[in-house]
A and B are shown apart, each in its own frame.
Chain A
Amino acid sequence: MRLNIRHTSRYQFDAPVYYGLQQLRKTPKTTQQQTIVSWETHITGGQKELSYHDHHNNVVELVSFDRDATDVTIESNGTVEVHETHGVLGPHRGFAPLWLYLRATPLTRAGPLCKNLIKDINEATPLARLHALSTSILDAAKYEIGTSHPGWTAEDVLTHGVGVCQDHAHVFIACAREMRIPARYVSGYLMLDDRVDQDASHAWAEAFVPDLGWVGFDISNGISPDIRYVRVATGLDYPEAAPITGTRLGGTGESLSVQIMVAQQ
């Protein structure tokens, strides 16, 4: 399936930005699951300084704001051909050792609630255990928009019993690592069948399963990624895979509007 994607983030400020930088992880790469037909990122109110591949093999672009900018727009758009792999990405690539994906981060530290969640998971194979984990997370924290907060840890999510895709992914990652299975966060896009305008970019998790390699789990939807999913960036948790991370001097009164369109070509 061929998907057209357009992702626009517009930042407006009451007071001008004296100096600001943004790190973008918004460029998908060709993998076993997807072929990038075309992809571009346009910036108004700022300029692209450089780009490189980080240790998760993400394409990172560094953008600076124009001096005294009050209106900055970052727009990515492109076309991606997605292949059906039943969620399997395959072998681990790059220099990052697999044990890196067993390291807890502040957002993915397994506390008593995560440990409690995995104590009854005893399926025979790692793959079956991961599917069981995904199901029990959705039982323990139902999908609910507007309650959770981007700074919530995996334990916070289980404490409140609700969350969005980012929260589910964090709980999954924390628990998988606690089960000694390497796991990582994935940010990307999901085409919802009934609409073109999406509410938000999507997030899911990948775990490393012997013999299969990396396998995706969309906990919020209870499935593995299929041909409606475009994988953009990965990391140990959300901050490492976030589409945009920034720092600035000045620029108070920020308002952000995000528009995401995903449509079948």
Chain B
Amino acid sequence: MENGDILNEMWHADGSARQPYKDFQSWFEGEDLSRLRAKQREAEDIFRLTGITFNVYGRAQAEEKIIPFDIVPRILSGREWQKLSRGIEQRVRAINAFLYDIYHRQEIIRSGRVPKEMISKNAAFLPAMIGVDPPGGVYTHIVGIDLVRTGEDQFYVLEDNARTPSGVSYMLENRETMLQMFPELFARNRVQAVQNYPRDLWRSLAASAPSVSNATPTVAVLTPGIYNSAYFEHAFLADQMGVELVEGHDLRIVDGRVAMRTTRGYHPIDVLYRRVDDDFLDPLNFNPESTLGVPGIMDVYRAGGITIANAPGTGIADDKAIYSYMPEIVEFYTGEKAILENVPTWRCSDSDSLAYVLDNLNDLVVKEVHGSGGYGMLIGPTATKKDIALFRKKLQARPGNYIAQPTLSLSTVPVFTRAGLAPRHVDLRPFVLVSPNSVNITPGGLTRVALKKGSLVVNSSQGGGTKDTWVLED
């Protein structure tokens, strides 16, 4: 059995269902387990057929994998969601205000709230964005905020994804699959829709078009190509929005705009939802070796001829060292206390913090400042002695490259196993759309679940799975 300190989102300690799960529980009790097992297999077939796959980096053969899907939904009440979404909106507005400030007057540095070195020595700070005014002042058109829950009312932001957050296609496919397999569940629960996401994404991007754009802006999705781990998602989103999926070599500069090749000649693009990293975006202005980008796109951007979503240089806001300043950042720009809490974070660049971290490696999670996807991190409580010794060396060699956090008691949600329901740790990535006139948060998001008993690592690249996430109408 699991530790009593850990919140199980489905059941109270006495075995009764928590409010949001009451209907689901009574439905489940009436179900035949063998029928559900068949449904679980059916779900896997649906995913294989739709082609929702991803690649894992660093394997000898970068084979395509299916992210395991679990049929038990993760359910939040409308009230729980309301508080979360207020906190998310506040945070996302602060992130955009911070980005504008950092690339203009840098008031937050002048005020002393964020030390200058956090920006001046940060590789994610992009000088080419200095003084640039993105259309509508929006830098992060698409944001994913990673949340974990440790108690009834206790949510923490684990990290902000302000560059090119992925995973939204899983949110949509998970819902689609659940609707197909268990229509009766949706008849008895009033679940808020997520299916409008592609339409909302298009509207949000179109609303961020530059002033040179026509009444109906032309939007396109830029992908690095089929070898990218998220290629499926790029193609899926372009298809769902009804816009072109393009690669760098399809685009060139024509009449001062970025234009795509069509059967009727070159057509200018107003908004490019790019899934290519900053460094590879423009070989004329950034990495000259890049073959994935569009030479001159940064020039067009700076001249006001295109909206790049997300804006280049947004990495400065989701860097893990900056993360530790988020409570100050939220307060500085919104004048309010942060609604969502940050996980307490030790910045190893600070020598006292480093000493503490080195003394407590067995209990802490250590992450690379610029890392993502669960690569290159240490989870003290489950790490081997060898791993801990290795990280000790890494920390001593490059302390500024790491932060450390306590291991949190992540909440659990049951997964369906051969033996019935069994609790597993989860996190949540809600998806946020920002346009000049609105912040739109899709109710739900992507719940990632650690499929191994007791594991806290939910990343798909590390063997995690996903669940459909429900927000109920209260």
- CB-based contact B299/A55 at 8 Å: no
Cβ < 8 Å to A, chain B residues 122-173: 127-132
- CB-based contact A62/B131 at 8 Å: no
Closest to B110 in A: A97
Q: Considering residues A50, A94, A96, A103, which has the most beta carbons from chain B within 10 angstroms of its beta carbon?
A: A50
Is A49 close to B, CB under 8 A?
Answer: yes
Is A196 close to B, CB under 8 A?
Answer: no
Give Cα A100 to B109, complex, Å.
Answer: 14
**B73 cross-chain contacts in A, Cβ below 8 A:** none
- CB-based contact A21/B295 at 8 Å: yes
- CB-based contact A21/B131 at 8 Å: no
Give Cα A168 to B391, complex, Å.
Answer: 43
Q: How many A-B residue pairs have CB under 8 A?
A: 69
Which B residues are within 8 Å of any A CB, using their own CB? 103-106, 109, 116, 120, 127-132, 252-253, 255-256, 283-285, 288, 295-296, 299-300, 302-305
- CB-based contact A97/B296 at 8 Å: no
Could you list 7 further interchain pairs (A-B, Cβ under 8 angstroms) beyond the known A23-B285, A49-B300, A94-B130?
Answer: A23-B296, A23-B299, A50-B303, A53-B131, A62-B253, A95-B104, A96-B131
Q: If the complex has contacts A55-B127, A97-B106, A103-B120, are A50 and B256 also in contact, measured as CB distance less than 8 A?
A: yes
Give Cα A60 to B296, complex, Å.
Answer: 12
- CB-based contact B299/A247 at 8 Å: no
**A97 cross-chain contacts in B, Cβ below 8 A:** 106, 109, 120
Q: Considering residues A21, A97, A247, which has the most beta carbons from chain B within 10 angstroms of its beta carbon?
A: A97
Q: If the complex has contacts A55-B128, A95-B131, are A247 and B284 also in contact, measured as CB distance less than 8 A?
A: yes
Contact residue among A19, A96, A100, A103 (Cβ-Cβ distance under 8 Å from B252): A19
Contact residue among B129, B130, B300 (Cβ-Cβ distance under 8 Å from A50): B300
- CB-based contact B127/A247 at 8 Å: no
Closest to B125 in A: A100
- CB-based contact A94/B131 at 8 Å: yes
- CB-based contact A54/B302 at 8 Å: yes
Number of interface residues of A (CB under 8 A): 24
Task: Provide a sorted-by-A list of 22 A–B residue pairs whose CB atoms are within 8 angstroms.
Answer: A19-B252, A21-B253, A21-B284, A23-B284, A23-B296, A23-B299, A49-B253, A49-B300, A50-B299, A50-B303, A55-B129, A55-B131, A62-B253, A62-B296, A62-B303, A94-B130, A96-B127, A96-B130, A96-B131, A97-B109, A99-B120, A102-B120
CB of B316 to closest CB in A, whole Å: 13
Closest to A240 in B: B127
Which A residues are within 8 Å of any B CB, using their own CB? 19, 21, 23, 49-55, 60, 62, 64, 94-97, 99-100, 102-103, 245-247
Contact residue among A51, A246, A247 (Cβ-Cβ distance under 8 Å from B303): A51
CB of A10 to closest CB in B, whole Å: 21
Closest to A94 in B: B131
**A51 cross-chain contacts in B, Cβ below 8 A:** 303
Closest to A102 in B: B120
**B116 cross-chain contacts in A, Cβ below 8 A:** 99
Closest 7 CB pairs of A and B: A55-B130, A50-B256, A50-B303, A95-B131, A52-B303, A62-B299, A52-B302
CB of B117 to closest CB in A, whole Å: 9
**A19 cross-chain contacts in B, Cβ below 8 A:** 252
Give Cα A126 to B165, complex, Å.
Answer: 47
- CB-based contact A60/B299 at 8 Å: yes
Closest to A57 in B: B131
Closest to A49 in B: B256
Q: If the complex has contacts A50-B305, A51-B303, are A95 and B296 also in contact, measured as CB distance less than 8 A?
A: no
**A94 cross-chain contacts in B, Cβ below 8 A:** 130-131
Give Cα A94 to B131, complex, Å.
Answer: 8
Closest to B302 in A: A52
- CB-based contact B253/A247 at 8 Å: no
Give Cα A102 to B116, complex, Å.
Answer: 13
Closest to A99 in B: B120
**B255 cross-chain contacts in A, Cβ below 8 A:** 49
**A50 cross-chain contacts in B, Cβ below 8 A:** 256, 299-300, 303, 305
**B305 cross-chain contacts in A, Cβ below 8 A:** 50
Give Cα A100 to B116, complex, Å.
Answer: 11
**A102 cross-chain contacts in B, Cβ below 8 A:** 120
- CB-based contact A49/B252 at 8 Å: no
Closest to B103 in A: A95
Contact residue among B120, B131, B132, B283 (Cβ-Cβ distance under 8 Å from A247): B283
Give Cα A102 to B132, complex, Å.
Answer: 21
Q: Considering residues A51, A95, A96, A103, which has the most beta carbons from chain B within 10 angstroms of its beta carbon?
A: A95
**A52 cross-chain contacts in B, Cβ below 8 A:** 299, 302-304
CB of B215 to closest CB in A, whole Å: 22
- CB-based contact A49/B104 at 8 Å: no
**B130 cross-chain contacts in A, Cβ below 8 A:** 55, 94-96, 100
Give Cα A246 to B284, complex, Å.
Answer: 7
**B304 cross-chain contacts in A, Cβ below 8 A:** 52
Contact residue among A53, A99, A247 (Cβ-Cβ distance under 8 Å from B295): A247
Closest to B249 in A: A249
- CB-based contact B253/A245 at 8 Å: no
Q: Considering residues A49, A96, A102, which has the most beta carbons from chain B within 10 angstroms of its beta carbon?
A: A49
Give Cα A51 to B296, complex, Å.
Answer: 11
**B253 cross-chain contacts in A, Cβ below 8 A:** 21, 49, 62, 64
**A55 cross-chain contacts in B, Cβ below 8 A:** 127-132
Contact residue among A60, A95, A103, A247 (Cβ-Cβ distance under 8 Å from B105): A95
